[in-house]
Amino acid sequence: MRDQLGRQIDYLRLSVTDRCNERCLYCMPPEGVPLVGHDDLLSFDEILTIVREAADLGIRYLRLTGGEPLLRRGIVPLVRELKAIPGIEGIGLTTNGLLLGAMAKELAGAGLNSVNVSLDTCDRELYRRITRTGDLPEVLRGIEAALAAGLAVKIDCVVLGIPEQRLTDVAALAKDRPIHVRFIELMPIGEGRRAFCPDDDLLDSCRYLPMAAVQETLESLCGPLTPVTDSLGFGPAVYRRAEGYAGCFGFIAAVSHRFCDRCNRVRLTSRGFLKTCLQYEAGEDLRAVLRAGHEPAVCRQRLREAFEKALREKPAAHHFSENDVPAGKDEAPADETAGMSAIGG
């Protein structure tokens, strides 16, 4: 499946819920976000119908996300059914890790291949301040359980530009175990926009910090980092290795070095909107197609047409940074107003 710029699209991120048991300050306001009504959410049958068509069109990799995907009841059987769809080669899940300790084994048994655990600091008190509700030891237990269950584990650390975050402590998680630790630039999405306003007090002094600065900090701890050439994922991270570390470091410079020319993904929100770019509202309402009352064969045909239309109109690039020139600004779709918990990150 290729879009109008020839980019091969083989990766679908599925948000299964907008609900979350944390309130990360760059993602959600303290009171949370308005919840999606149960009838507005895609049912599992609807998700499976969409993924079957998507796989037939060329989607090979899925990632379950949210909100917090482990809060969606029935997530384990959903993984099992998704994995059984012909064409699907791998399923990952992005989680805050709070419920992973209890669920990792079952998820692995259902066919999940990997988990990305979001973890911005190894300091328990700061973790609580960043997530407003989370408990670091629970997350660390979740990581251990995932490794014990045989899941590939990555840590995703959003860089907040504050020294207390001690990125080198997070990096140390890659020292003795095959965990890849990835550092991600804070993006001007949802509450994260506030970190780009000079007079906002988001966690006192959180600020966007470019990846080049993060690499320098890591090199001061681990020595020179060397590029990793083997493929460690199907996403935009650039990986480097440090002497004596079992895991690698990944750098996701979404803002300072956008990688839109290599974009391989589309997103499906929990309400069934097929979203073709993180920054724009561009896409197609697949839930409307599913609920239009078509015969099954017509419904499948309409879903395929909606996928194809969405890809024809997939924006060329985001323009998160002021320096980016928006491509075709006059015709550009409206900017996304939803936060990451609704989009699926």
Residues interacting with ligand SF4, by CB under 6 A?
20, 22-24, 27-28, 66-68, 96, 118, 340-341
Q: Which does 186 bind (CB under 5 to 8 A by kind): ligand SF4, ligand SAM, none?
A: ligand SAM
Cα 263–Cα 12–Cα 143 angle in degrees, nearest 5: 100
Handedness of CA 8, 54, 334, 3 (dihedral sign): positive
Measured between its terminal Cα atoms, the distance across the chain in Å is 22
Q: Does 341 bind ligand SAM (CB under 6 A)?
A: yes
Q: In angstroms, what is the C-alpha Rg of the chain?
A: 19
Burial grade of 37 (CB within 10 A; 0-12, 13-18, 19 or more): exposed
134 scored as a contact of ligand SAM (CB under 6 A): no
Q: Which does 62 bind (CB under 5 to 8 A by kind): ligand SF4, ligand SAM, none?
A: none
- DSSP sequence for 229-279: -S---SSS-EEEEETT-SS-EEEE-TTTT--GGG--EEEE-TT-EEES-SS
The residue (of 108 and 187) whose beta carbon lies closer to ligand SAM is: 187
CB of 184 to ligand SF4, least distance (A): 11
The stretch among 2-10, 33-41, 92-100, 289-297 that binds ligand SAM (CB under 6 A) is 92-100
Q: Which of residues 18-77 bind ligand SAM (CB under 6 A)?
A: 20, 26-27, 65-66, 68
Chain centroid to Cα 27, Å, comes to 12
**Rounded least distance, CB 46 to ligand SF4, Å:** 22
CA-to-CA separations, 200 to 22, 197, 338, in angstroms, rounded: 22, 6, 20
Choose the one of ligand SAM, ligand SF4, none that binds residue 23, judging by a C-beta under 5 to 8 angstroms depending on kind: ligand SF4
Round to whole Å and give the CA distance between 137 and 291. Answer: 43
State in angstroms the smallest separation of the CB of 75 from ligand SF4: 15
Residue closer to ligand SF4 (CB basis): 20 or 50: 20
Question: Is residue 270 near ligand SAM by the rule CB under 6 A?
Answer: no
Q: What are phi and psi of 135, to 5 degrees?
A: -125, 115
Closest separation in Å from C-beta 99 to ligand SF4:
11
Instruction: Say whether residue 279 binds ligand SAM (CB under 6 A).
Output: no
- Which CB, 26 or 245, lies closer to ligand SF4? 26
Query: E-strand spans in 160-237?
Result: 180-185, 225-227
Q: Contact at 8 Å (CB) between 28 and 339?
A: yes
Q: How far is the CB of 208 from ligand SAM (least distance, A)?
A: 9
- Please give the residue ranges that form the binding site for ligand SAM (CB under 6 A): 20, 26-27, 65-66, 68, 94-96, 118, 156, 158, 184, 186-187, 189-190, 192, 340-341, 345
